[in-house]
Amino acid sequence: MRQRAHIDKKISPREWSRDDLIACVLSGLAYLNVLAGTALLFLNQWTGWVMTGITVLQVWLMYVTIDPKLKMVSGAFEKKQQGYLEELDKMIEWE
């Protein structure tokens, strides 16, 4: 999957970007649509199917939008954690 050019630079997890805002709005809309779509599906309304389909699209867009940043932050954390664990092993070697 392609990464966006502006994700390549160092971004702190605490800094909000345009992608975070888009994912936040999409998650709220998806939550409302899944509630309304489910209710309409139980009432056997065709609009429930439409809203559920729109919800699937919104969740996919949210994933595509925020996943590159989450992978970058996760990778940085894993590197930091690995260094910490190696340092900890050196400090408490059992020999």
Please give the Cα distance from 57 to 60 (Å, whole number): 5
> pLDDT for 26-80, tens place per residue?
899 999 999 999 999 999 999 999 999 999 999 999 999 888 888 888 888 888 8
Q: pTM of the prediction?
A: 0.65
In this predicted structure, what is the pLDDT of residue 1? 47
How far apart, in whole angstroms, are the C-alpha atoms of residue 36 and residue 34? 6
Decide if 74 is inside a domain.
Answer: yes
Q: Please report whether residue 28 resides in a domain.
A: yes
Residue 11 lies in a domain: no
3-class DSSP assignment, residue 91: helix
Res 10: pLDDT: 62
- Which domain range does residue 39 map to? 17-91
Dist. CA 67–CA 15, nearest whole Å: 16
Counting the structural domains of the chain, the total is 1
